[in-house]
Amino acid sequence: MATMYYEEDAPLAPLAGQKVAVIGYGSQGHAHSQNLRDSGVTVAVAELPDTANYKLAVEHGFEPTDIAAAMDGARLIIVTLPDEIQATVYEGQIAPNLRGGQTLGFCHGFNIHFKYIVPPKDVNVVMIAPKGPGHLVRSEYVKGGGVPCLVAVEQDATGDAKAVALAWANGIGGARAGVIETTYKEETETDLFGEQVVLCGGLSALIKAGFETLVKAGYQPEIAYFECMHEVKLIVDLMYQGGLSYMRYSISNTAEYGDLTRGSRIITEQTRAEMKKILGEITSGAFAKEWVAEYRSGLKKFNALYNADHDGQLEQVGRRLRKMMKWIDAKEV
């Protein structure tokens, strides 16, 4: 059984009356900053001036500064910069301002686990990794809930690194949902695997392949969109509430028989072998190396792949259909 922490195990006390610096006001940064502040913690935000997220932080009542000023006197420094730029910003602006006894906090283990960042021994290195997008970390908190988190301690210089991390989890609402104890290694590897194989890579590819199969066979793209994309949420909502069993209870017997007999023909032995291969690329560090090299050489492949989907038929049809469904709060990027 995993070790889990809830609010009573994660007192806010280690951060009460203390300053917390949040570096980067993006998806996670805006949520951690506002949730911690609403929990009574003093929050200093660092953002780049003249950016949209700087303006957003100001709208939310913060006075963003540079990194040095935000870090000055902070008990906890939460790094919510994109993973691919963290090492550069760390070298240039975080490391020179780090003081012994401070706690460095990450939301994902990538840079520590793969050693793109190696902090000095006299600081704590912890992680609170919310298992959900930043915007939900905020909206669930506002509703009185929270997004489950993982906690890991890589370095404990002061003897209370875990207590500081758990207070952070409490302050963002994560301890309401449950905080699972893990290591940087386990979090980093399972997070990368989940997003590549199931949540983002696997699911997007499944939706696209289903949509394209129907359209190529001559069916109307609008029907293919509803069938292969829109309904995914409705099915996943049922799984979220009651697992596969509740989803199967809700769908028709015909759908259930199709599910039980056809699913294993889509996820074949070959697919499972590929999943294992992808996990190997993650654990060996080959994926991390490839991603950092792609970022440093100007994101050509990244942008080409992104644009092909962004301008593709699935997205065009979806944009049009979502505009007609006022209640879904359609977004365009």
Q: How far is the CB of 130 from Mg ion (least distance, A)?
A: 8
Q: How far is the CB of 129 from Mg ion (least distance, A)?
A: 7
Contacting residue, 28, 138, 191, 228, with Mg ion by CB under 5 A: 191
60 is catalytic: no
Which does residue 81 bind out of Mg ion, ligand NDP, none, counting CB within 5 to 8 angstroms by kind? Answer: ligand NDP
Nearer to ligand NDP, 150 or 224 (CB): 150
HEC per residue, 5-74: ECHHHCCCHHHCCCEEEEECCCHHHHHHHHHHHHCCCEEEEECCCCCHHHHHHHHCCCCCECHHHHHCCC
CB atoms within 10 A of CB 158: 17
Q: How far is the CB of 161 from ligand NDP (least distance, A)?
A: 19
Q: Please tell me the distance from the alpha carbon of residue 163 to that of residue 166, in angstroms, as a whole number.
A: 5
CB atoms within 10 A of CB 35: 24
The count of residues in the chain is 333
Which does residue 94 bind out of Mg ion, ligand NDP, none, counting CB within 5 to 8 angstroms by kind? Answer: none
Nearer to Mg ion, 164 or 197 (CB): 197
Per-residue binder mask for Mg ion (CB under 5 A), 227-266, x = binder: ----------------------------------------
Nearer to ligand NDP, 61 or 100 (CB): 61
Give the interface with ligand NDP as residue ranges (CB under 6 A).
Answer: 23-29, 46-48, 51, 53, 67, 80-83, 85, 89, 107-108, 129-130, 133-134
Q: Please tell me the distance from the alpha carbon of residue 162 to that of residue 151, in angstroms, as a whole number.
A: 8
Nearer to ligand NDP, 45 or 215 (CB): 45
* Helices 184-193/269-283 angle, 10° precision: 140
Nearer to ligand NDP, 113 or 162 (CB): 113
Report residue 23: phi and psi, to 5°. Answer: -100, 105
Q: Which residue number has the CB closest to Mg ion?
A: 191
Which does residue 47 bind out of Mg ion, ligand NDP, none, counting CB within 5 to 8 angstroms by kind? Answer: ligand NDP
Residue 1 · residue 30 · CB < 8 Å: no
- Interface segment toward Mg ion; rule CB under 5 A; list 7-15, 51-59, 183-191, 208-216: 183-191
Q: How far is the CB of 129 from ligand NDP (least distance, A)?
A: 6
Which does residue 64 bind out of ligand NDP, Mg ion, none, counting CB within 5 to 8 angstroms by kind? Answer: none
DSSP string, 218-284: T--HHHHHIIIIIHHHHHHHHHHHHHHHHHHHHS-HHHHHHHHHHHHHHS-HHHHHHHHHHHHHHHT
Q: Which residue number has the CB closest to ligand NDP?
A: 26
Q: How far from each other are the two terminal CA atoms of the chain, in whole angstroms?
A: 41
Catalytic residue among 30, 32, 108, 113: 108
Which does residue 82 bind out of ligand NDP, Mg ion, none, counting CB within 5 to 8 angstroms by kind? Answer: ligand NDP
Kindly compute the dihedral angle of the four CA atoms of residues 168, 170, 174, 178, in this order, to the nearest 10 degrees. 120
Give bridge partners of residue 42 from the DSSP assignment.
19
Nearer to ligand NDP, 94 or 207 (CB): 94
CB atoms within 10 A of CB 229: 20
Q: Please tell me the distance from the alpha carbon of residue 237 to that of residue 251, in angstroms, as a whole number.
A: 12
Torsion sign over Cα 23, 24, 25, 30: negative
The verdict on 83 binding Mg ion (CB under 5 A) reads: no
Q: How far is the CB of 89 from ligand NDP (least distance, A)?
A: 5
Q: How far is the CB of 140 from Mg ion (least distance, A)?
A: 16
Interface residues toward Mg ion, by CB under 5 A: 191
Known catalytic residues are: 108
